[in-house]
Amino acid sequence: MMDNPFSGQVGVAGRAAGISLNGRSLPFSKRQNGVVLLIALIVLVAMTLAGIALVRSVDTGNMIAGNLAFKQGTTLAADAGTNAAITYLTPLNGTATPYTDQVSSGYYATSQDTLDRTGSSNDPNRARVDWDNNNCNGVVAPACIKPSAAVTDTATGNSVNYIIHRLCQSTGDSNAASNTCVTYRATGTTSPNRSGLVYGGGRIEPLPTVYYRITSRAKGPRNTISFIETMIHF
């Protein structure tokens, strides 16, 4: 029996091509399974990270929407503080009560221009408002001004109070020569009753009315805080 002179060469070539003539070598298709598995794991990790990022993005969007809703709610609640302040001032119009401070009601007869009404200033020389009834949270300030008593809406969880300033430099009558106030005077006013005037007497000029500044503060859920400032006159 003659030996095949090319058997050794074919075996070497077959091994180089990944084909075994004697059954000892594996084909290339078997050897590539590990690479495919590695790629599949990388793709799976990437998809997992993308899914986590999407979930966190949705959660952040919901949180922002919720905070905006709370902010809007506290702003609307602050309007109630402004209405309460107007209700307080209305029966005092034309009386001497507004000439002096009414601290227990959150009313002050002067403008207190340097007062930090929102607590946002870092200037230690400015007085602050004790909105939370905690002695201005221990902050060292020239004065800790008291606002009105807080009114809490149990349905919404909003707590509202206000502070009123008469826009005058001094206490006392706003029409006094020694006092300087921001006032409103109606112009072009004539008498509604012609028989009550002497012809040629000119127009009736009403007395100026002083302006009041109302600062309302509402504190709601998630420590949401809103301020509203309103200027009024009677």
The string of DSSP codes covering 133-197 is: SSTGGG---S-EE--PPPEEETTTTEEEEEEEEE-BSSSS-TTSTT--B-EE---S---S-GGGS
Alpha-carbon dihedral 84, 110, 176, 204, rounded to 10 degrees? -40
The residues spanned by each domain of the chain are 51-232
Sequence letter at residue 130: D
pLDDT, position 116? 93
Mean pLDDT value of segment 129-147: 87
Residue 190 tokens read as 């004539």
User: In the structure, what pLDDT confidence band is assigned to residue 10 with cuts at 50, 70 and 90?
Assistant: very low
Residue 21 tokens read as 């003539």
What is the rounded CA–CA span in Å between residue 96 and residue 113?
22
User: In the structure, what pLDDT confidence band is assigned to residue 56 with cuts at 50, 70 and 90?
Assistant: confident
pLDDT, position 197? 46
pLDDT, position 55? 74
Instruction: Identify the H or E element spanning 217.
Output: strand 212-219
3-class secondary structure, 129: strand
- What percent of the chain stands above pLDDT 90? 40
pLDDT, position 53? 78
pLDDT, position 201? 52
Mean pLDDT value of segment 15-29: 51
What is the rounded CA–CA span in Å between residue 225 and residue 128?
16
Query: Look-up: residue for tokens 């005058």?
Result: 168
Q: Which of 210, 99, 80 is nearest to 148 (CA)?
A: 80
Look up the pTM and report it.
0.67
- Kind of pairing between the strands at 151-153 and 158-166: antiparallel
Task: Report the mean per-residue pLDDT for the chain.
Answer: 79
pLDDT, position 212? 97
Mean pLDDT value of segment 55-59: 69
Tell whether the model's pLDDT for residue 120 goes beyond 80. yes
- What is the sign, positive or negative, of the torsion defined by CA atoms of 93, 95, 100, 106? negative
Tell whether the model's pLDDT for residue 99 goes beyond 80. yes
Tell whether the model's pLDDT for residue 187 goes beyond 90. no
Mean pLDDT value of segment 120-141: 86
Alpha-carbon dihedral 143, 149, 153, 159, rounded to 10 degrees? 0
- 190-202: per-residue pLDDT in tens? 544 544 445 555 5
Cβ-count burial 65-96 (b if 16+ within 10 Å, e if not): eeeeebbebbbebbebbbebbbebbeeeeeee
**Do residues 204 and 193 lie in contact, with contact meaning Cβ atoms separated by under 8 Å?**
no
